[in-house]
Amino acid sequence: MSVTEPARLKRELRRDLLAVRAALAGDEVAGAGEALAERALELPELAEADTVAAYVSVGREPGTGALLRALRERGVRVLLPVLLADDDLDWAEFEGHGRLVESEHAGRVRLLEPAGRRLGPEAVTWADVVLLPGLAVDARGVRMGRGGGSYDRALARLADAGADPALVALVYGHEVVDVLPDEPHDRRVHAALTPEGVHRFTR
Q: Is 143 marked as binding a ligand?
A: yes
Q: Is 11 marked as binding a ligand?
A: yes
Q: Is 187 marked as binding a ligand?
A: no
Q: Is 31 marked as binding a ligand?
A: no
Q: Is 148 marked as binding a ligand?
A: yes
Q: Is 170 marked as binding a ligand?
A: no
Q: Is 10 marked as binding a ligand?
A: yes
Q: Is 57 marked as binding a ligand?
A: no
Q: At what angle do helices 26-41 and 65-73 cross, to 10 degrees?
A: 30
Q: Is 45 marked as binding a ligand?
A: no
Q: Is 72 marked as binding a ligand?
A: no
Q: Is 1 marked as binding a ligand?
A: no
Task: Give the DSSP letter of residue 153.
Answer: H
CB 145 within 8 A of CB 170: no
Amino acid at 74: R
Q: Strands, DSSP E only, in the chain?
A: 51-53, 77-83, 89-93, 100-102, 112-114, 129-133, 136-138, 143-144, 166-170, 176-177, 191-194, 197-200
144, β-bridge pairs: 136
The CA-atom distances, in angstroms, between 20 and each of 34, 145, 196, 203 are 20, 15, 18, 30
How far is Cα 11 from Cα 169, in angstroms, rounded to an integer?
A: 19
User: Residue ranges for the binding site?
Assistant: 10-14, 56, 61, 143-151
- Binding positions for substrate: 56, 61
Residues annotated within a binding site for ATP: 10-14, 143-151
